[in-house]
Structure 1
């Protein structure tokens, strides 16, 4: 994969629970992180007392984060309502020349900030809430 522009990574949310995905407005920075917890299966008979891991076991998680400005009242209201209601919705992360990660996430952090001489900004944190699917580009 060659170098890509950060602005080309898109974050979209299912706005109605029916599969209508809309881009989260005004994101200036965003990231996607995957994690997999390991299960230690080391015992007295492990060769040379090297740690052994149990393949395919453990907990898989994904974390999305983003920051930016709201482009309209609708995107602001949608995210705010999802946060306060604890709504789990399908989200899409589209990585150019790589693919799309899609699945359920819940908003776990929503922060607002701004300078007296600047625009209102927000920071968003999401945690996976089920199985994710990957579709290659």
Structure 2
């Protein structure tokens, strides 16, 4: 795989609940991380005293975050409404030249900032709220 543009990693939000996805506008930086908890089943009989993990067990999750500037009233309002309602809509995360991750996420943090002589900015954090699907880029 060759080097990719960071601006091509996109966070898309379902705007209507019907699969109408729009890119969250104004993002300058975005990140996705996958996590898997382990279940330790080490016992006195574990060979050589090495830790043993139970395959397929534990909780898996994904976290998504992004930051940027206000650019679009529709996606800004949708994120605000979802945060205050506590809803868990479908998001689609586009990873350039890799594929797309889709699933339900909850907005766990929504931060706004601004300085006297600068632009207003925001940061958003999402936590997975169910199983995720992956669609490879073709």
The alpha-carbon deviation at position 9 of structure 1 amounts to 0.7
Q: Provide the rounded CA distance (Å) in 1 between the counterparts of 2:19 and 2:76.
A: 19
The residue aligned with 2:62 is 62
Measured against aligned partners, the alpha-carbon deviations of 1:98-122 in whole angstroms (never above 9, x if no partner) come to 0000000000000000111111100
1:118 aligns with 2:118: yes
* Structure 2 stretches lacking a partner, 5+ long: none
Runs of 4+ aligned structure 1 residues displaced above 2 Å come to: none
TM-score by length of 1: 0.98
More moved, 99-108 vs 64-73: 64-73
**Post-superposition offset of 1:72:** 2.1
TM-score, reference length from structure 2: 0.97
Alpha-carbon distance in structure 2 between the residues aligned to 1:93 and 1:73: 20
Q: Where does residue 95 of structure 2 map in the other structure?
A: 95
* Backbone CA RMSD of aligned residues: 0.7
Q: For each residue in 1:63-117, what CA deviation from the matched residue of structure 2 results, as whole angstroms up to 9, or x when unmatched?
A: 0000001212222111111000001010011111100000000000000001111
Matches within 5 A, 1:1-137: 1-137=1-137
1-side partners of 2:131 and 2:7: how far apart? 26
Q: Which blocks of at least 5 consecutive residues in structure 1 are unaligned?
A: none
Distance (Å, rounded) in 2 between the aligned partners of 1:19 and 1:80? 19
Count matched residues. Answer: 137
